[in-house]
Copies of this chain bind each other. A is one copy, B any other.
Amino acid sequence: MRLLHHLPLSPYCRKVRLALAEKHIPFETLVEKVWERRDAFLAMNPACTVPVMVEENGLVIADSNAICEYLDEAYPDPPLMGRTFADRCEVRRLVAWFDLKFGQEVTANLLTERTMKKLLGRGHPEAAALRAGYQNLRSHLDYLGWLAETRPWLAGREISIADLAAAAHLSSLDYIGDVDWSLSDSAKHWYARVKSRPSFRAILADRVPGMAPAEHYADLDF
């Protein structure tokens, strides 16, 4: 069986889990405590990051973007990277937007600050980082809301990796109770649509030991 080395709250791993589920590709998961820097894991991915997927034929794929591109090439139905050149450019622009820009401006300031410091016993989150994270989340929700208002899905007519990347980041932040959904109705409605897809069930069932999710986390009607 294909195996995904992952961490439950990593948005990059969640994006891949969602892509696999949307394509109905079966897989098993294994939690990889990257901070332990296991030799066998370093041999698969010297960057020592998750996700890493090991295909049934033994092919090792590191990096969430490499995995998603591979999945769309190897299992093209349904396509999640867009059909036309214009669609594909927009999907990839938005994946970079959420994984890199949102990731740096919001996720790193809130999720990484709160969970990794706690996990590794490195003290309390920095107030300045949290402030910046909340401030940035506000404008990102505005932009996401605008996209959701003007298109059926974030990158166009069909659901794509762009939706999955955005939902992956927001769901991890929602787990720790850091998303104020009252800030954007359109963003909230878009998230409710993604959240109610069968591919999202395993994400909503995630529980991290010692870290209970926000009360509304798994609620489809939040």
Chain B residues whose C-beta falls within 8 Å of the C-beta of A45 in the assembled complex = 93
Whole-angstrom CA separation of A88 from B61 in the bound complex: 10
For residue A74, CB closer than 8 A to chain B, the reply is yes
Residues in B with CB closer than 8 Å to A46 are 143
Contact with B along A43-61 (1 / 0, CB 8 A): 0011100000000000111
Q: Are the C-beta atoms of B59 and A96 separated by less than 8 Å?
A: no
Inter-subunit contact B101/A47 (CB<8 Å)? yes
Q: Nearest chain-B residue to A52 (Cβ)? A: B93
A101 to B62, CA, bound (A): 13
B-contacting 9-mer, from A22-30, A65-73, A190-198, A201-209: A65-73
Q: Give chain A's interface secondary structure class.
A: helix
CB A27 to nearest CB in B, in angstroms, measures: 16
Query: A92-112 vs B: 1/0 string, CB under 8 Å?
Result: 110011001100000000000
**How many copies of this chain does the complex contain?**
2
B65 touches A88 (CB 8 A): no
CB distance from A64 to the nearest CB of B (A): 9
- Does A128 belong to the interface (CB within 8 Å)? no
Complex Cα distance A96/B69, Å? 13
Contacts of A93 in B (CB 8 A): 45, 47, 61-63, 66
**Complex formed: what's the CA distance from A62 to B62 in Å?**
24
Chain B neighbourhood of A85, CB < 8 A: 59, 70, 73-74
CB-defined contacts of A97 to chain B, threshold 8 Å: 47
Report B-chain residues with C-beta under 8 Å of the C-beta of A61.
Answer: 89, 93
- Is A40 positioned at the interface, with any CB of B under 8 Å from its CB? no
Q: CB of A120 within 8 A of chain B?
A: no
State A88–B73 Cα separation when bound (angstroms): 10
Q: Given A47-B97, A85-B59, A143-B46, does the pair A92, B65 have CB atoms closer than 8 Å?
A: yes
CB-defined A-B contacts under 8 Å, sample of 22 = A46-B143, A59-B85, A59-B89, A60-B89, A61-B89, A61-B93, A63-B92, A63-B93, A65-B65, A65-B92, A65-B96, A66-B92, A66-B93, A66-B96, A69-B88, A69-B92, A70-B85, A70-B88, A70-B89, A73-B85, A73-B88, A74-B85
